Amino acid sequence: MRVSQGLFRTWREAPTGAETRGITMLLRAGYVHKLGSGLYTNLPLMQRTQAKLEALIREELPRVAQEVSFPVLQPGALWQESGRWDGYTQPGGIMFSLRDRTGRALALGPTHEEVAVATVRELVRSRRDLPVSLFQIGRKFRDELRPRSGLLRTCEFTMKDGYSFHATPGELATHFEDMAGAYARILTRLGLQWRAVDADSGSIGGSASREFTVLSEVGEDEVLYTDDGLYAANAERAVSRAAEAPPSPFQGFARHHTPGTVTVASACAALGCEAAHMLKNVLYDAAFLTADGERRRVPVLVSLRGNHTVNPVKLWNAVQEREEGTLLSLEVAQTGQWAASPLPLGFLAPDLPDTVIARREGLQPAFLRLCDLAGADLRDFATGGNEPDIHVSGANWGADYALPEVADLRQAQPGEASVHDPRQPLRSARGIEVGHVFQLGTRYTAAMNATFVDTGVNTGVGADGAAHPLQMGCYGIGVSRLVQAVAEQLADDRGLSWPDVIAPYHVLLTVVDGGDAAQVDAAEALYRMLRAAGLDVLLDDRPERAGIKFADADLWGIPYRVTLGRALKEGQVEIRVRRSGEEHRLAPEEVPDWLAARLDWQRG
């Protein structure tokens, strides 16, 4: 391609509203154009880059995975079957939905579990048809509260999403690891710093999931990991060893008048103890949508050590697991909220009686009581007295309070010891989630009646001739997001810097003086030679000053630039490596072999 013949506009200034270096450079270099909030067009350079990334993904996926393409318009009835319609389409839900002219409810797919199950349940009959592993690369949609950070959070984006179906959990687990291995190879071939981390399965559901996170300061995700490489998890899910609480200063149960001490810090000061000696009790208000379409509210009382913090994702999951219906919201309760009389917030005890709850329609008349693991280990602790301005000390589970259900509800913190090795402290890094793999099990296949029977000679699951739900996995890569993640990690102050394997062009030929016939002729000859060698070549033949062309070259981030300038008089051209800045001089006819030896793409 010749720059003069295509659409290659660049901008000197950072566009307004571009929050990160990655999107700033993608906009300035003319890779993407913002059509509206959360809506971006791939211009020609981006289209080439993304197509190469898609080719890389196809190359690395397990051979058994077959490419398909589902509609992005999905019948809402399928989401009713899986039970996700209400949660995704409630006010504030992230799914766009609409009706066609016949009144049929349709969703603009943010994900395709329902569609994949609806398809496969009509195609698979027996164990002999398994496994089935399908993937597609296509558009996804989210009605984002606040689209931001360029391609990292948009209303429309490109994803690779895959769905696999198996007879047994073991076969699912094997395929899950195959997929995770493919994801690892993809990120490694891109030359990125990344982590595979244990992750929360979120609204997708299922038992096990792993997230692939590209490290970047602009990432929205926090990763906690250990230096030995044996532990890494999204902070939403990370576990850690709580530091042992120091020996309690309290002996024997006692009541204290502690006026105005509604915070842990002020209560500790009044009681003469540390936060780690206290049990704090936090009240939440959980709203559910029942299967009948009714709203139901459940008060939740959460107890944990005074120096610990509730992890909202862990709490959400713990509450959802224990109650019927779809959890819609979970918020810290306000004084007087659904209570018969004002609640002594700041002075609550773990035995706050159910009778404080006013009897109202749609309100559960008993607390869901949960205690964090570390809170359950406390001895002789201080806590609230269930009356304003009263604390107690020297309390113990069993003797003074019944221990509620225990769960891991605590936010793990950097510096705490890992659960796998107390000598390994957790480190924190920010990152961009670019991939996520899930073992969903029968979460969707049971709800949507996707089953198989074993009519063959096998003797495993299904050999009894009865129908068993398929074991399902799902596997996503945010394709357009990953392109920007690469930009975030590899761009510098001068512009983008692509890994060879996804660069829109392998090499850029820059003619220093377009009026110099020798330079132009040499460029044309080299252009033909490199194309004949199978390289993707961009020829900057514009009648612009050399400085402008060099600046655009840096901005575009093409891995190798060949400059045809004065050195031609000595029979030489200059090759410059964009990332490292290293420069080499060689004869034009040596360039194809030199590049071929350097380019990753040949080593695929």
> Residue 122 or residue 244: which is nearer to its own copies going by CB?
122
> Residue 96 or residue 594: which is nearer to its own copies going by CB?
96
> Residue 10 or residue 364: which is nearer to its own copies going by CB?
10
Interaction between residue 68 and its own copies (CB under 8 A): yes
- How many chain residues bind its own copies (CB under 8 A)? 56
> Residue 101 or residue 359: which is nearer to its own copies going by CB?
101
> Residue 49 or residue 234: which is nearer to its own copies going by CB?
49
Helix (H) or strand (E) holding 576: strand 573-577
How many other CB atoms sit within 10 Å of the CB of residue 566? 13
Q: In angstroms, what CA-CA distances link 68 with 133, 176, 253, 507? A: 10, 19, 66, 33
**Bridge pairing between strands 537-540 and 507-511:** parallel
Q: How far apart, in Å, do the first and last CA atoms of the chain sit?
A: 24
Q: What mask, x for binding its own copies by CB under 8 A, covers residues 406 to 425? A: --------------------
Helix (H, G, I), strand (E, B) or coil at 585: strand
Interaction between residue 305 and its own copies (CB under 8 A): no
**Closest to 379 (Cα-Cα) out of 266, 512, 289, 245:** 245
d(Cα 401, Cα 404) in Å, to the nearest integer? 9
Q: What mask, x for binding its own copies by CB under 8 A, covers residues 132 to 171? A: x-x---xx-x-x-x---------xx---------------
Interaction between residue 479 and its own copies (CB under 8 A): no
Q: In angstroms, what CA-CA distances link 172 with 153, 352, 475, 601? A: 30, 45, 12, 32
Return the residue of 74, 386, 411, 563 that touches its own copies, per CB under 8 A: 74
d(Cα 258, Cα 276) in Å, to the nearest integer? 18
Scanning 37-45, 185-193, 345-353, 354-362 for contacts with its own copies by CB under 8 A, the matching segment is: 37-45
Q: Give Rg (Cα) of the chain.
A: 30
Interaction between residue 41 and its own copies (CB under 8 A): yes
Interaction between residue 454 and its own copies (CB under 8 A): no
d(Cα 448, Cα 451) in Å, to the nearest integer? 9
Interaction between residue 388 and its own copies (CB under 8 A): no
Q: What mask, x for binding its own copies by CB under 8 A, covers residues 75 to 114? A: x----------------x---xxx-xxx-x---x------
Q: Which residues contact 304 (CB under 8 A, 6 or more apart)?
A: 279, 280, 282, 310, 371, 372, 374, 375, 409, 410
Residue 232: CB minimum distance to its own copies, A? 33
Interaction between residue 13 and its own copies (CB under 8 A): no
> Residue 100 or residue 324: which is nearer to its own copies going by CB?
100
Residue 490: CB minimum distance to its own copies, A? 22
Scanning 69-77, 254-262, 428-436, 591-599 for contacts with its own copies by CB under 8 A, the matching segment is: 69-77
What is the dihedral sign for C-alpha 457, 459, 463, 468? negative
Helix (H) or strand (E) holding 468: strand 468-469
Strands (E), 238-307: 254-257, 279-289, 295-305
d(Cα 441, Cα 207) in Å, to the nearest integer? 7
Helix (H) or strand (E) holding 436: strand 427-441
Structure tokens, 560: 């190798």
> Residue 399 or residue 457: which is nearer to its own copies going by CB?
457
Helix (H) or strand (E) holding 472: strand 471-478
> Residue 67 or residue 227: which is nearer to its own copies going by CB?
67
Residue 120: CB minimum distance to its own copies, A? 8
Residue 205: CB minimum distance to its own copies, A? 22
Strands (E), 290-372: 295-305, 326-332, 368-372
Helix (H, G, I), strand (E, B) or coil at 583: strand
> Residue 15 or residue 422: which is nearer to its own copies going by CB?
15
> Residue 134 or residue 235: which is nearer to its own copies going by CB?
134
Residue 33: CB minimum distance to its own copies, A? 5
Structure tokens, 494: 């001068």
Interaction between residue 600 and its own copies (CB under 8 A): no
Interaction between residue 177 and its own copies (CB under 8 A): no
Strands (E), 100-219: 105-108, 132-141, 156-166, 194-198, 208-215
Tallying the residues shown for the chain, one arrives at 604
Residues 120-139 interacting with its own copies (rule: CB under 8 A) = 122-123, 129, 132, 134, 138-139
Residue 87: CB minimum distance to its own copies, A? 15
**Amino acid found at 208:** A
Residue 420: CB minimum distance to its own copies, A? 38
d(Cα 57, Cα 62) in Å, to the nearest integer? 10
Interaction between residue 7 and its own copies (CB under 8 A): yes
d(Cα 15, Cα 10) in Å, to the nearest integer? 11
Residue 357: CB minimum distance to its own copies, A? 33
Residue 236: CB minimum distance to its own copies, A? 24
d(Cα 247, Cα 426) in Å, to the nearest integer? 24
Residue 90: CB minimum distance to its own copies, A? 11
Return the residue of 71, 181, 246, 353 that touches its own copies, per CB under 8 A: 71
> Residue 5 or residue 580: which is nearer to its own copies going by CB?
5
Scanning 60-68, 294-302, 362-370, 550-558 for contacts with its own copies by CB under 8 A, the matching segment is: 60-68
How many other CB atoms sit within 10 Å of the CB of residue 344? 20
Interaction between residue 263 and its own copies (CB under 8 A): no
Largest CA-CA distance found in the chain, in angstroms, rounded: 96
Return the residue of 70, 367, 452, 556 that touches its own copies, per CB under 8 A: 70
Residue 132: CB minimum distance to its own copies, A? 5
Tracing tokens 């690469």 back to the chain, one arrives at: 486
Whether the Cβ atoms of residue 93 and residue 87 lie closer than 8 Å to each other:
yes
Interaction between residue 550 and its own copies (CB under 8 A): no
Residue 541: CB minimum distance to its own copies, A? 13
The residues binding its own copies (CB under 8 A) are 1, 5-7, 9, 30, 33, 35-37, 39-44, 46-48, 50-51, 64, 66-75, 92, 96-98, 100-102, 104, 108, 115, 118-119, 122-123, 129, 132, 134, 138-139, 141, 143, 145, 155-156
